[in-house]
Amino acid sequence: MRYLLATAALSFLAVLHVSAMSRVEVLGVTPDLLLAFAACWAIVRGQREAMVIVPLAGLLRDLTTSDPIGTSMLALSPIVLLAAARELRTVETEFVPALALVAAATVAYTVLRVGILAGTGQEVDWTGGLLRVALPGAVVNALFTPIVYLPVRWLSPALRPGVVGVGRTVPL
């Protein structure tokens, strides 16, 4: 059931990204809610589920863009590796790691995608890709993360004991 929900949400976000979201530009980039959703899922639900959700997100992205199929599947895969940082539990909340993962995943995604596009013979702008897409994208995607983090959090029944939202509850 959770995978069905995730698939429906990812499909909606993939279509939204190439339609209505194309009009939303902040710092010259369009927020990538699909990437943010996959990253939030990885943080909230763990690496195991991310191993299914992330390639699915990549496939849906590939099917709705002009990139060769497989590009985003590969470029989004660092999310699963970076989600391992969740296990470090340096902070009690999951929101801050989610923000950090979204920002890091945006940079990794853009760099890998530029590399893949260059590998397939397309003209790419490495400097522009990093300075005008990856870095502003990391900030913008992090800013828009709450939009997808809250539903993912709400859908996740398995809260860690003693931790709710962004603070810690005190056991009586």
Partner 1 sequence: MRVIWWLATVVSVSLISIVLSEQRALDPLDNLSLMAVSPLATGLDDLSDPVAELFEGVVDRGDLVRENQRLKEEVERLQAQLAQQEGAEQRVRELEEALGAQQSRPQDHLLVAGVIAQETSGLKRAIAIDRGTADGVDEGMVVLSGGGSLVGTVSRAFTDFAWVRLLTDPDSTVNAQVESGSGASSLTRGVAGGNLRHGLVLDMLPSDAQVKQGGLVTTSGLGGNYPQSLLIGEVSSVEERPQAPFKKATVQPAADPSSLETVLVLLSFKPARLEGP
Binding site for partner 1 (CB under 8 A): 11, 14-24, 28-30, 32, 47, 51, 55, 58, 62-71, 73-74, 77, 80-81, 84, 110, 113-114, 116-117, 120, 122-125, 128-129, 132-133, 137
Tokens of 58: 């990549």
CB of 72 to partner 1, least distance (A): 9
Q: Are 137 and 111 in contact (CB under 8 A)?
A: no
Q: Are 67 and 5 in contact (CB under 8 A)?
A: no
CB of 13 to partner 1, least distance (A): 11
20 contact partners, CB below 8 Å, separation of at least 6: none
Closer to partner 1 at the Cβ: 24 or 163?
24
Tokens of 40: 């939030």
Closer to partner 1 at the Cβ: 23 or 160?
23
CB of 40 to partner 1, least distance (A): 19
- The beta-strand segments (E) located in 25-166 are 163-164
Closer to partner 1 at the Cβ: 30 or 145?
30
Q: How far apart, in whole angstroms, are the C-alpha atoms of residue 125 and residue 155?
A: 39
SS3 68: coil
CB of 16 to partner 1, least distance (A): 6
Closer to partner 1 at the Cβ: 45 or 153?
45
